[in-house]
Structure 1
Amino acid sequence: MRTNKPYLLAAAVVAGPIAGVVWHLVDTVGLPRTEAADYLAQVSADRDGYALGTMLYMIFVGCSIPGGLAVARVLRDRAPLAGTISGLLLALAGVLGLIVSGMRPVVLGLTPEGGLAAEAVEAYARYQGSAWFGGIMLPMLASAVVGLVTQVAAILRTGVLPRWTAPLLVAGFVLSSGEFSLAVTVVGALVQLAGTVPLAARLIAGSEAAGEAEPARAALA
C-alpha cells in the first residue's frame, strides 16, 4: 500500500514564508505598537497596501499551524518530545496571529481616506493600552520564539534536517521582525524561506522513504 504524500502540508510550509515576503513588500506600515496617530496615518496613506497586506499576513501566520504539524512530524522519530513542544507552540503562534489579524480590518475602518478623526486615534490608543493587546501579542511572540528555539535545538542535536538550516531560521526570524529597515526585513524573510524549504523537502522525502519501506517489510513477513 502506498503512503499518501503530504504535498498539501509541504506546500503550506513553503507558502507561509512566501506570503511573508510579499506581505513585507506591499504593506510598509510600522508595527502595531507604533504610536497610534503615526500608525493610523501610515495606514490611511496606503489603505490598499494595508488591505492586501492583511490577507497576506493571515496566510503568513495561518501557515504556522500546518508548519507546526510539519515540524512535529519530521522530528517525531529522532526527537519526539522536542517535536511535539515545538510543533504545538508554532501552531499556537499561528492561532494567536490569526486572532491578532482580526484587528486589522477594524484599523481600516478607523482610517478613512479623508483623514483621521481624533476619536479614531483615541480608540486605537486605548486598544494598544488594553490587556487584550498585550494578552495576545506577548503569548504569540513567546510561542513563536520558544517554538523556534526548540526546533533549532532539535535540528542541531539530531541532524534530522541540514544543520545549516538552524542559523538561517534564527537569522531570518530576527531580521524579518519588523525592527529593521524594509530592505533588511525583506532579506530576513527570504532567509527564513531558505531555512524552511528543507523542511518541506524532508516531508516529501520521508513519505517516499516510508512508502518504499512498506513493500520491503511485506516481503520479509
Structure 2
Amino acid sequence: MSSTTHLGTGLVAPQATAPGTPAAPAAPAAPAPHPRRRLLVGAALVGPVALAAQYLLSSAGLPRDDAGPWLAGLAEDPTAQTLSVVVHLVAMVAGIAGAATLALACGRRAPWLSGIAAALLAAGSVGGGGFAGMRLIAGVLAGEGGPAAAETWTAVQQGPPFLVLGPLVLMAVIGTVLATVALVRARADVTVWAAPAHLAGFVLASGEFPAAVSVLGEALVLAALVPVARAALRG
C-alpha cells in the first residue's frame, strides 16, 4: 500500500458561475423626494432671502419704537414701505414652511423637540405676519402726519393688537432656542455648524441692529438652512 500524500486531496474545486446566470440584484436606490416635499423645502429657503430684502427696503425701525420718529421714517418712502410689507408677509409664509422643514430634518433624532420648536416657530410667523399687516395701517397714519397720528399709533401700541401679537413673536424666540438644541441633537443628519449659525443669524437679524447686520444675519440663517433642507429631502 502506498503512503504517498497527494496535495489537494479532499479540497473542493471552486465552482464557476454558469453562463447566463443572472447577477445578484443591486440594492434599491433611495426613492426620490415627493414633489410636495421639494416645494415645501424650496419655500423654506425663500424665507431668509425675503427677510433680507425686507430689511433693505425698510430701515424705519420696529413697530414698538417711539411713534413719532417711526411714523416719520415710514412717511419718507411710502412705496418702499409697502413693498417691504409685501416681502415681509412672503417671508412669514415661508417661515411656516421653514418650521416644517426643520421638523422633517430633525425628526429622526429629536422628534419631540423639533416638533415643538416647529410649532412655536410657526406661531411666531403668524405673529410676524400680523405685525407686517399693522405696518400698512401705520403707513396710512404716517401719510396723515401730525401729533394726532402719533397719538393714534401710541394707543395701538398699548392696545389689544400688541398684547395678542407680542406673545406670538416671543414664541418664535423660544422656538429658535429649541430649534438650535434640536439641530445639535441631529447634527449627524444635518451638520455640526448648522445650530450655531442658525442661532447667530437669528440674533443678528432680530431688527435691533443696522440693516447691513440684519442682512448678514439672514445670510447665516440661509446658510444653516441649506443642510437642514438636504436632510429634510432625504427624509
The two structures share one fold, judged by TM-score above 0.5: yes
Q: What is the CA–CA distance in structure 2 between the aligned matches of 1:2 and 1:72, rounded to whole Å? A: 19
Residue in structure 2 matching 1:180, options 198, 206, 209: 209
Residue deviations 1:34-73 (CA, integer Å, cap 9, x gap)? 1101000000011111111001111112212111111112
Equivalent residue, structure 1, for 2:218: 189
Matched letter for residue 53 of structure 2: V
Residue in structure 2 matching 1:151, options 159, 179, 194: 179
Q: What is the CA–CA distance in structure 1 between the aligned matches of 2:226 and 2:60, rounded to whole Å? A: 28
Residue deviations 1:194-213 (CA, integer Å, cap 9, x gap)? 11121222222x15xxxxxx
Deviation at 1:3, TM superposition (A): 5.0
Task: Report which structure shows greater RCO (CA 8 Å, sep ≥6).
Answer: 1
| 8 Å contact from structure 1 (residues 62, 97) kept in 2 | no
Equivalent residue, structure 1, for 2:105: 74
Matched letter for residue 83 of structure 2: L
Equivalent residue, structure 1, for 2:55: 24
Equivalent residue, structure 2, for 1:218: none
Secondary structure in 2 matching 1:199? helix
Rg comparison, structure with higher value? 2
What number of residue pairs does the alignment pair up?
203
Q: How does 1:1-221 map to 2 (within 5 A)?
A: 4-5=34-35, 6-112=37-143, 116-137=145-166, 139-159=167-187, 160-204=189-233, 206-207=234-235
Q: Under a length normalisation based on structure 1, what TM-score does the superposition of the two structures give?
A: 0.86
Matched letter for residue 34 of structure 2: N
Q: What is the CA–CA distance in structure 2 between the aligned matches of 1:185 and 1:67, rounded to whole Å? A: 19
Describe the shift of the 1:174–1:109 C-alpha distance in structure 2 as closer, same or farther (beyond 3 A).
same
Residue deviations 1:122-153 (CA, integer Å, cap 9, x gap)? 1101011124213312x233211111111111
Deviation at 1:21, TM superposition (A): 0.9
Matched letter for residue 135 of structure 1: V
The farther-off stretch of 62-71 and 119-128 is 62-71
| 8 Å contact from structure 1 (residues 68, 88) kept in 2 | yes
Equivalent residue, structure 2, for 1:219: none
Q: Percent identity among equivalent residues?
A: 32
Q: What is the RMSD computed on CA atoms of the aligned residues? A: 1.6
Query: Could you list the runs of 5+ residues in structure 1 that have no partner in the other structure?
Result: 208-221
Matched letter for residue 73 of structure 2: Q
Q: Under a length normalisation based on structure 2, what TM-score does the superposition of the two structures give?
A: 0.81
Deviation at 1:182, TM superposition (A): 2.0
Q: What is the CA–CA distance in structure 1 between the aligned matches of 2:112 and 2:91, rounded to whole Å? A: 26
Deviation at 1:30, TM superposition (A): 0.6
Q: Which has the higher helix share?
A: 1
Query: Could you list the runs of 5+ residues in structure 2 that have no partner in the other structure?
Result: 1-30
Q: What is the CA–CA distance in structure 1 between the aligned matches of 2:193 and 2:60, rounded to whole Å? A: 32
